Structure 1
């Protein structure tokens, strides 16, 4: 059930990750009189006995739940690759990756066609033969979708697939893609577009190069029915991401924009998949960084099993050398975004490696074996605008960017730090923490206001664990009444805390 914004992150989550400050209480000061009693904001109206007796009263500050000694730090991925050349060669488009029923399902583009592959482990891929489209003189290929001829004057672009849990079974899968408007529709579409306010008009759209975003529906992600009318007018020649947000009860789409001569990330949302409003700017190159940077693709996804943990892996393109790096962004609602501090999470390899120059993050963070989560990415050893001779196109490959489960970003205490959470609703009687701490450091956890569960009662935690149970004098029960919200108190010394979960 949808909950108000203020309560959404403390009601029913099983897993909490520290990808931003949403779970960390900012704290405050409480002002006390000389007798130690709290003072009102306007104490002259009802002064405390001690304040009233003083000719010039003095207030004393007491910190309340103030965090200190901590910072956030994005964690760099472990890169594995290159993988099977069938999903990398000739394409930088990992357009949709889902983990369904124990299978990895991948939709990607190559030329004017959408292709499909699947895998049991994410490393060995099967490419089914559909026989639907002739490519290079043969229909023995895994192309499941092609741009209709009347709209196919360019390659398939802006393409993605997503699951719509709100739709009937026949429309469970949704697809969006960019294509040219048929010639007999151009005049009407062009007039409608030119009637929009200038803020919604794109310098890339013009007669002879006029495109819209179209949609399709499917019961299985393979057999598609195309919608006859475009969803909206836009030019998006890279990866688009879309999903149905159950909390907003709206469809949300992220795509590329081109403003001020640079690539930006735009967003639009709608309650009706068939009709979308114009795209609005969302992320753009920051003015405290190089003026040569673009934000090329968005890489929006969610943490597996936790749709409220909105993530982006945007590709920052550096025009001065035409290489790219992938950063981590986080959002509580998919609307307001922050970059996780620290280095890029996926960076080019060394000059001798296959991914030494240009990288693109795919769409879809999924669970992997060995307690990992991963994101497919494409890379090449050539700069982005290097002449695309056949051997250059063939150099594109695909790999995994992997993290230990839950370890995308950390609360770090280089020395000693402390913080409180907002009230959270326990989803179990035990608390497990995902952390790293040296033996000379440590992690301690308290449950505020519960006797026997304070920081000083906590058995010290050190080492490296994805889910170590917190204990107080050897007891693991959190010691609260059933269904009572709790405030957690964390103390770190030379430690990283990635998150916590209930069990």
Structure 2
């Protein structure tokens, strides 16, 4: 006897998870989706894996060689604003002698660029430094330890508050204060009291307008195990970490929460014959929405490793007065989130210090600037890339080196020539074309199959029907027997099966081509 099951019931049945609970299809609409985690992955088989990609170092693009920038310039912030790129950073000097160290001044400086590569210091005439206003300083004093601005893209933001900043001030009450500006140059406080007081704040704290969730989001430094803070597992000392809070108006903020990490960051490591902090700590966080996929947060935290006693002679000379200047090290990490609280934390460095003779094995080096810029480094017609800026030469001659990465190129589904596959969870999309960002070897290739939720290939979209994809493209349109049209599948649950051979698949999106 043949039992006929209505099509709707068949779809529901095939969407049931192993425990019998209906697995809701993920509605991705026409969003660009990056393989920065396994959020959309049902299975990954063969030799397929998620591979973190490190950016390529290029040249120094900004050297802090003015008197007011000193040997302690850091906490850079960069963002695009119309036809220009803006940069804000701290200028500061540290003096070291046998009794300790001193910091005679902190200032906030401004620079700008037309291409993200060549930067200039406009002579603003706003703040006097050693008797002259011929400089690019916009602020001075206690607010300049880490003055971190952004352009407010909230459509309801009034013009006089178009640029905003979050600022740590330590007296009389330690906390984060908020400032605003109509032009990004001239700043005023928005409140005479701190808006967030739970935290420690002695780093590059940040905030932004989240256009997807329609709220302001902030991330700031706090100490687990510090005064009033929770302690990390089995560890008594305070540990540098990150908290987050949200606001609807930038003045009233929620009580901060700790970030959580997967896999857990609370994993011990040790080195022989040394006393090492049992945790890799986070000094900065550098979390922002990714501009090509703003529902995804990307973070580029500075990882802080304390107490490693193996020093070069250079580091010993630099650290005679304060031990942690020489026995602690910093490099760059990578983490991602889809809700702003739970982060996928990669346990390998995104930015490594590099060869010892290049002198980046010093506490304060390898701090990545806040902000990832889309730039073009070649002649017109050369494809665009991502520029990231990393500090070097701390305590000596501070400078910024540009690092570059392909668009969406943080993580890929990677497999050797023997091949690997990724099958997505059931998805619902909007659009009439499927676009991939990928790179293959000369022998490699990628194939795409669109399936029913139960895993059956949809007629005309089977793997055998897919036209071969190979080469290196940011936006290749997939076709099956020369037919790229997928609008007939839009709005209903489907799965995507990607077969990868000696290739990297970085992202995909459905979109409407007229």
1: CA distance between counterparts of 2:427 and 2:139?
46
SS for the counterpart of 2:60 is: coil
Aligned residue runs from structure 1 range 104-503, under 5 A: 104-111=85-92, 112-147=106-141, 152=142, 156-166=144-154, 167-181=157-171, 186=172, 210-227=173-190, 228-233=192-197, 234-259=199-224, 260-282=237-259, 285-290=265-270, 291=278, 293-319=280-306, 320=308, 321-340=327-346, 343-353=348-358, 355-357=360-362, 358-369=365-376, 370-380=383-393, 393-414=395-416, 415-449=418-452, 450-478=458-486, 480-481=488-489, 483-484=491-492, 486-503=494-511
SS for the counterpart of 2:209 is: strand
**1:307-360: CA deviations, max 9, x gaps?**
11210011112221422221210111211101236x412111212225354210
How many residues align structurally?
414
How much has 1:267 moved relative to structure 2?
Answer: 1.7
SS for the counterpart of 1:364 is: coil
**1:432-452: CA deviations, max 9, x gaps?**
222223344421001224321
**1:406-464: CA deviations, max 9, x gaps?**
11101122332222223445454222222223344421001224321111111222233
SS for the counterpart of 2:39 is: coil
Q: Judging changes above 3 Å, is the alpha-carbon distance between structure 1 residues 7 and 348 closer, same or farther for their aligned structure 2 residues? A: farther
2: CA distance between counterparts of 1:496 and 1:311?
20
CA RMSD of aligned residues (A): 2.6
2: CA distance between counterparts of 1:355 and 1:13?
42
How much has 1:501 moved relative to structure 2?
Answer: 2.9
1: CA distance between counterparts of 2:178 and 2:496?
46
What are the ranges of 5 or more consecutive residues in structure 1 without an aligned counterpart? 1-5, 27-65, 187-209, 381-391
- Whether the 8 Å CA contact 1:71–1:413 is kept in 2: the answer is yes
- Whether the 8 Å CA contact 2:216–2:249 is kept in 1: the answer is yes
**1:247-299: CA deviations, max 9, x gaps?**
43332211111233321122222334223344333268522434163211111
2: CA distance between counterparts of 1:355 and 1:8?
47
What are the ranges of 5 or more consecutive residues in structure 2 without an aligned counterpart? 1-22, 93-105, 225-236, 271-277, 309-326, 377-382, 453-457
- Whether the 8 Å CA contact 1:432–1:469 is kept in 2: the answer is yes
1: CA distance between counterparts of 2:137 and 2:26?
41
Q: TM-score, normalised by structure 2?
A: 0.74
Higher-Rg structure is 1
- Whether the 8 Å CA contact 1:12–1:427 is kept in 2: the answer is yes
